[in-house]
């Protein structure tokens, strides 16, 4: 699979990002928390499959 974009988070250099899993490990919650910590980070709808598992 080819990805258009990749997010790399270095938890040593940016320890505040450790909070992205506070609400669980679902992609939706992680993405929501990333954008709360880093509002300049943009996730394009349709470019990412971040649906809750069925």
Distance CA 52, CA 38 (A): 22
Q: Which band of pLDDT confidence, cut at 50, 70 and 90, is reported for residue 53?
A: very low
Q: Is the pLDDT of residue 45 over 50?
A: yes
Mention every residue, 6+ apart, whose C-beta is less than 8 A from residue 39. Answer: none
Over residues 12-40, the pLDDT tens digits come to 999 999 999 999 999 889 999 999 999 99
Instruction: Name which residue leads in pLDDT, 6 or 51.
Output: 6
Q: For position 30, what pLDDT does the model report?
A: 92
Whole-number pLDDT of residue 49:
57
Residue where the block lists tokens 């990749």: 6
| Residue 46 pLDDT | 72
């Amino acid at each position: 699979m080819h990805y258009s974009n990749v997010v790399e988070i270095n938890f040593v250099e940016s320890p505040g990002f450790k909070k992205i899993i506070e609400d669980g490990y679902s992609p939706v919650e992680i993405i929501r928390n990333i954008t709360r910590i880093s509002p300049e980070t943009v996730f394009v709808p349709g470019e990412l499959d971040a649906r809750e598992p069925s």
